[in-house]
Amino acid sequence: MDDMLKEFVVEALDLATNVEEHLLSLERNPGDMNTLNAVFRSFHTIKGGAGFMNLSAMVSACHLTENLFDALRTGQVPVTPEAIEAALEASGFVADQLTALNNGTEPDKLSTMPKSLEKMLTDAIEMKGVSKKPAAAKAKPADTPKPVEKAAPPVAKKESDGELDWEAYFRAVTPPGTLPEAESEAAEEEEVHAAAPTQREETEAVKSSLSGAEIKQNAPAKEESIRIDAVKLNVLLEVAGESVQAANQAAVLLEKLSQFKFDGQAAPLMSALTETLTRASRYSTELQRATLATRMQPVGRLFQKFPRLIRELARDLGKEVDLNIAGAETEVDRVVVDSLYDPLVHMLRNALDHGIETAEERINANKAPRATISLKAWQEASSVMIEVTDDGKGMDAQRLRDKAISKGLINAHDARTDDEAFQLVFLPGFSTKEVASSVSGRGVGMDVVKTAVERHRGAIRIASQLGTGTTFLIRLPIELSIVPTMLVRTDGASLALPMATVQRVVELPETFESVGGQPVLRDLGRPLPVKSLGKILGYTPASERVGIVIAAPSPYILSVDAVDGTADLVIKPLTCISTPGITGTARSAEGELVLVISLSFLIDGCKTRERITA
* Highest averaged pLDDT of the listed ranges 84-88, 166-170, 194-198, 477-481: 84-88
C-alpha torsion 538→542→547→550, nearest 10: 0
Mean pLDDT score across all residues of the chain: 77
DSSP 8-state assignment for residue 388? E
DSSP 8-state assignment for residue 356? P
Q: How far apart are CA 395 and CA 403, in angstroms?
A: 13
At 392-410, the pLDDT tens digits run: 999 988 888 888 888 888 8
Q: pLDDT band at residue 119, thresholds of 50, 70 and 90? A: confident
Q: How far apart are CA 533 and CA 559, in angstroms?
A: 6
At 518-535, the pLDDT tens digits run: 889 988 888 899 999 988
Q: Residue 474 carries which side chain, given as an amino acid letter?
A: I
247: enclosing H helix or E strand: helix 230-257
Q: pLDDT band at residue 305, thresholds of 50, 70 and 90? A: confident
CB 603: neighbour CB atoms within 10 A?
Answer: 21
Q: How far apart are CA 457 and CA 482, in angstroms?
A: 11
Residue 374 confidence (pLDDT): 93
Residue of 457, 377, 471 whose CA lies nearest to 422:
471
Residue 33 confidence (pLDDT): 86
CA 491 to chain centre: 40
Q: pLDDT band at residue 390, thresholds of 50, 70 and 90? A: very high
Residue 150 confidence (pLDDT): 39
Residue of 516, 515, 536, 541 whose CA lies nearest to 526:
515
Assess whether pLDDT exceeds 80 at residue 123.
yes
Residue of 375, 374, 289, 385 whose CA lies nearest to 331:
385
Residues 6+ apart with CB under 8 A from 82: 120, 123, 124, 129, 130, 132, 134, 137
Higher pLDDT, 465 or 192: 465
Strand order in the sheet with 526-532: 502-507, 546-550, 556-560, 526-532, 518-523, 513-515
Q: How far apart are CA 41 and CA 21, in angstroms?
A: 14
Q: pLDDT band at residue 224, thresholds of 50, 70 and 90? A: low
Half-sphere exposure of 336 (CA within 13 A, CB side): 30
Question: Is the torsion defined by CA of 183, 185, 188, 191 positive or negative?
Answer: negative
Residue 227 confidence (pLDDT): 66
What does the pLDDT average to over 441-468? Answer: 78
CA 146 to chain centre: 41
Helix-, strand-, coil-residue percentages of the chain, each rounded to 5: 50, 20, 30
Please provide the DSSP assignment of 292-342 as one string.
Answer: HHHTEEETHHHHTTHHHHHHHHHHHHT--EEEEEE-TT-EEEHHHHHHSHH
What global pTM score does this model have?
Answer: 0.62
* Highest averaged pLDDT of the listed ranges 83-92, 185-194, 408-417, 431-440: 83-92
N-term to C-term CA, the chain: 51
DSSP 8-state assignment for residue 358? P
Residues 6+ apart with CB under 8 A from 379: 330, 331, 385, 478
Q: pLDDT band at residue 469, thresholds of 50, 70 and 90? A: very high
